[in-house]
Structure 1
Amino acid sequence: MNKKVLKTLEYNKIIDRLSDCACSELGKEKCRKLEPISDLNKIKKLQKETADALSLVWQKGSVSFSGLYDISASLKRLEIGSALGAGELLKISSLLKIALRVKTFARKEDADGEPNSLDQLFDSIEPLSNLNSEITGCILSEDEIADDASANLKNIRRQIKITNDRIHSQLNSIINSQSGRTYLQDALITMRDGRYCVPVKQEYRSAVPGMIHDQSSTGSTLFIEPMAVVNLNNTLRELASKEADEIQVILANLSILCAEHLYELKTDMDILAELDFIFARAILAKNMKASEPIFSNNKQINIKQGRHPLLDPHKVVPIDIHLGKDFTLLIVTGPNTGGKTVSLKTVGLLTLMGQSGLHIPAFEGSMLAVFNEVFADIGDEQSIEQSLSTFSAHMVNTVNILNEADENSLVLFDELGAGTDPVEGAALGISILSFLKNIGTRTMATTHYSELKLFALSTDGVENACCEFNVETLRPTYKLLIGIPGKSNAFAISSKLGLPDYIIDDAKKRIDSENEKFEDVIAKLEESKLTIEKDREEIAAYKSQIKSLKRDYELKNKRLDEQREKIITKAREEAVDILKDAKELADESIRTINQGSKSHNTKAMEKSRSKLGSKLKENQSGLSMKASAAKKKHKPSEFKIGTGVKVLSLNLKGTISTLPNANGDVNVQMGILNSKVNISDLEILDEPDVKAPGLVRSNTGKIKMDKAKNVKMELNLIGKTVDEAIFELDKYLDDAYIAHLPQVYIIHGKGTGALRSAIQNHLKNLSYVKSYRNGEHGEGGAGATVVTFK
Structure 2
Amino acid sequence: MNSKIIKTLEFEKIRTQLASFAASELGKQRLLRLEPQKTLKDVQDLQDETDDGRKVYRLKGGIPIPKLTDISMSLKRLQIGGSLNGKEISQIGRVLSTTKEVIQFFEALHEQEVEFYRLYAIVDQLIDLPDIRKTIALSIADDGDILSDASSELKRIRQSIRSTETNVREKLDGFIRGKKSQYLSDSIVTIRNDRFVIPVKQEHRNVFGGVVHDQSSTGQTLFIEPQAVLELNNKLRSLKAQERREEERILYELSALLAPHVDEITENSYLLTELDVINAKAAYGNSIDATRPHLNERNHIAVWGARHPLIDREQVVSNDLIIGEEYQAIIITGPNTGGKTIVLKTLGLIQLMGQSGLQIPAKENSQIGIFTEIFADIGDEQSIEQNLSTFSSHMSNIVSILDQIDDKSLVLFDEVGSGTDPQEGASLAVSILDYVGTKGSYVVATTHYPELKVYAYNRPATINASMEFDSHTLAPTYRLMIGIPGRSNAFDISRRLGLPEQVIQQAAGFIKEDSQELNEMIADLEQKRRRTELESHQLKQQIAESEALLRDLRKASEQLEEDQTTVMERAKKEANKIVETSREEAELLMQEIREMQMNLGKSAGVKEHELIDLRKQFDELRQEESLLTKNKVLRKEKEKKQLKVGDEVLTETYGQRGTLLEKTAKGEWVVQIGIMKLKLPESDLRKIEEEPDKQVRRAKRQIANLRSSTDSHVSTQLDLRGFRYEDAIMELDSYLDAALLAGYPQVTIVHGKGTGAIRQGVVEALKKHPQVKSFAFAPANAGGNGATVAVFKG
TM over 0.5, shorter chain: yes
Q: How does 1:343-354 map to 2 (within 5 A)?
A: 343-354=343-354
Give the match's secondary structure for 1:472. coil
Whole-Å Cα distance in 2 between the matches of residues 324 and 243 of structure 1? 73
Shift of 1:472: 0.5
Whole-Å Cα distance in 1 between the matches of residues 261 and 504 of structure 2? 83
- 1:57 aligned onto 2:38: no
Whole-Å Cα distance in 1 between the matches of residues 219 and 380 of structure 2? 76
1:131 alignment counterpart: 132
Which deviates more, 340-349 or 396-405? 396-405
Shift of 1:227: 2.6
Q: How does 1:652-691 map to 2 (within 5 A)?
A: none
Shift of 1:342: 1.6
Shift of 1:201: 3.8
Whole-Å Cα distance in 2 between the matches of residues 217 and 356 of structure 1? 64
2:518 alignment counterpart: 518
Is contact 1:23-1:64 (8 Å) kept?
no
1:280 alignment counterpart: 280
Give the match's secondary structure for 1:299. coil
Whole-Å Cα distance in 1 between the matches of residues 552 and 210 of structure 2? 99
Is contact 1:292-1:364 (8 Å) kept?
yes
Distance 1:260 1:512, change over 3 A: same
Shift of 1:5: 1.8
Whole-Å Cα distance in 1 between the matches of residues 97 and 321 of structure 2? 47
Kindly provide the amino acid, as one letter, of the partner of residue 547 in structure 1.
E
Q: How does 1:380-779 map to 2 (within 5 A)?
A: 380-561=380-561, 563-564=563-564, 567-568=567-568, 571=571, 574=574
Shift of 1:209: 3.2
Is contact 1:448-1:488 (8 Å) kept?
no
Q: How does 1:325-340 map to 2 (within 5 A)?
A: 325-340=325-340
- State the Cα deviation string for residues 175-224 of structure 1 (Å, max 9, x = none): 4443x245444444333322233444444444433333333444444433
Whole-Å Cα distance in 2 between the matches of residues 565 and 173 of structure 1? 92
Whole-Å Cα distance in 2 between the matches of residues 147 and 580 of structure 1? 74
Whole-Å Cα distance in 1 between the matches of residues 405 and 257 of structure 2? 57
Give the match's secondary structure for 1:430. helix
Kindly provide the amino acid, as one letter, of the partner of residue 213 in structure 1.
H
Which deviates more, 526-535 or 42-51? 526-535
Whole-Å Cα distance in 2 between the matches of residues 609 and 127 of structure 1? 78
Distance 1:451 1:135, change over 3 A: same
- 1:309 aligned onto 2:321: no
Is contact 1:153-1:243 (8 Å) kept?
yes
Give the match's secondary structure for 1:481. strand
Whole-Å Cα distance in 1 between the matches of residues 579 and 194 of structure 2? 105
Is contact 1:212-1:224 (8 Å) kept?
yes
Can you give the 5+ residue segments of structure 2 that lack an aligned partner in the other structure?
590-606, 629-794
The alignment's TM-score, normalised by the length of structure 1, stands at 0.71
Whole-Å Cα distance in 2 between the matches of residues 348 and 451 of structure 1? 25
Give the match's secondary structure for 1:124. coil
Give the match's secondary structure for 1:404. coil
Whole-Å Cα distance in 1 between the matches of residues 400 and 556 of structure 2? 64
Distance 1:84 1:337, change over 3 A: same
Shift of 1:468: 1.3
Shift of 1:582: 9.7
Shift of 1:523: 0.4
Distance 1:545 1:21, change over 3 A: farther
Kindly provide the amino acid, as one letter, of the partner of residue 127 in structure 2.
E
1:190 alignment counterpart: 190
Kindly provide the amino acid, as one letter, of the partner of residue 133 in structure 1.
K
Shift of 1:263: 2.4
- 1:153 aligned onto 2:168: no
Distance 1:466 1:615, change over 3 A: same
Distance 1:217 1:399, change over 3 A: closer
Is contact 1:67-1:94 (8 Å) kept?
no
Is contact 1:578-1:619 (8 Å) kept?
no
- 1:2 aligned onto 2:2: yes
Is contact 2:56-2:63 (8 Å) kept?
no
Give the match's secondary structure for 2:157. helix
Give the match's secondary structure for 2:211. strand
- 1:266 aligned onto 2:261: no
Give the match's secondary structure for 1:145. coil
Is contact 2:24-2:276 (8 Å) kept?
yes
1:785 alignment counterpart: none
- 1:252 aligned onto 2:259: no
Is contact 1:354-1:368 (8 Å) kept?
yes
Distance 1:190 1:322, change over 3 A: closer
2:81 alignment counterpart: 81
Whole-Å Cα distance in 1 between the matches of residues 299 and 178 of structure 2? 97
Kindly provide the amino acid, as one letter, of the partner of residue 154 in structure 1.
K
How much identity, in percent, do the aligned residues show?
42
Which deviates more, 8-17 or 556-565? 556-565
Whole-Å Cα distance in 1 between the matches of residues 532 and 73 of structure 2? 66
Whole-Å Cα distance in 2 between the matches of residues 572 and 62 of structure 1? 49
Give the match's secondary structure for 2:6. helix
Is contact 1:332-1:466 (8 Å) kept?
yes
2:225 alignment counterpart: 225
- State the Cα deviation string for residues 574-629 of structure 1 (Å, max 9, x = none): 5698699999999x99xxxxxxxxx9x9xx99x9999999998x999x9xxxxxxx
Whole-Å Cα distance in 2 between the matches of residues 86 and 610 of structure 1? 93
- State the Cα deviation string for residues 35-65 of structure 1 (Å, max 9, x = none): 1221111011111111111111011112353
Shift of 1:485: 1.4
Kindly provide the amino acid, as one letter, of the partner of residue 225 in structure 1.
E
Is contact 1:382-1:388 (8 Å) kept?
yes
Shift of 1:86: 1.0
Which deviates more, 368-377 or 126-135? 126-135
The alignment's TM-score, normalised by the length of structure 2, stands at 0.70
Distance 1:393 1:576, change over 3 A: same
Give the match's secondary structure for 2:141. strand
Give the match's secondary structure for 1:416. coil
Whole-Å Cα distance in 2 between the matches of residues 143 and 344 of structure 1? 52
Whole-Å Cα distance in 1 between the matches of residues 217 and 390 of structure 2? 74
Which deviates more, 223-232 or 346-355? 223-232
Aligned-residue Cα RMSD (Å) equals 3.5
Give the match's secondary structure for 1:140. coil
Is contact 1:484-1:525 (8 Å) kept?
yes
Is contact 2:37-2:43 (8 Å) kept?
yes
1:29 alignment counterpart: 29
Kindly provide the amino acid, as one letter, of the partner of residue 126 in structure 1.
I
Shift of 1:462: 1.4
Distance 1:293 1:168, change over 3 A: closer
Which deviates more, 372-381 or 572-581? 572-581
Is contact 2:406-2:440 (8 Å) kept?
yes
Kindly provide the amino acid, as one letter, of the partner of residue 134 in structure 1.
T
* Residues matched between the structures, number: 608
Shift of 1:490: 1.6
Give the match's secondary structure for 1:101. helix
Is contact 2:410-2:442 (8 Å) kept?
yes
Whole-Å Cα distance in 1 between the matches of residues 393 and 270 of structure 2? 45
Q: How does 1:111-126 map to 2 (within 5 A)?
A: 111=111, 112-126=113-127
Whole-Å Cα distance in 2 between the matches of residues 387 and 176 of structure 1? 84
Whole-Å Cα distance in 2 between the matches of residues 583 and 253 of structure 1? 80
Is contact 1:68-1:98 (8 Å) kept?
no
2:172 alignment counterpart: 171
Shift of 1:270: 0.6
Kindly provide the amino acid, as one letter, of the partner of residue 487 in structure 2.
K
Shift of 1:284: 1.4
Can you give the 5+ residue segments of structure 1 that lack an aligned partner in the other structure?
590-598, 623-790
Larger radius of gyration: 1
Distance 1:197 1:547, change over 3 A: same
Whole-Å Cα distance in 1 between the matches of residues 206 and 620 of structure 2? 131
Is contact 2:331-2:456 (8 Å) kept?
yes
Whole-Å Cα distance in 2 between the matches of residues 216 and 99 of structure 1? 54
Which deviates more, 452-461 or 111-120? 111-120
Give the match's secondary structure for 1:509. helix
Give the match's secondary structure for 1:21. coil
Is contact 1:299-1:324 (8 Å) kept?
yes
Give the match's secondary structure for 2:371. coil
Shift of 1:268: 1.4
Is contact 2:329-2:444 (8 Å) kept?
yes
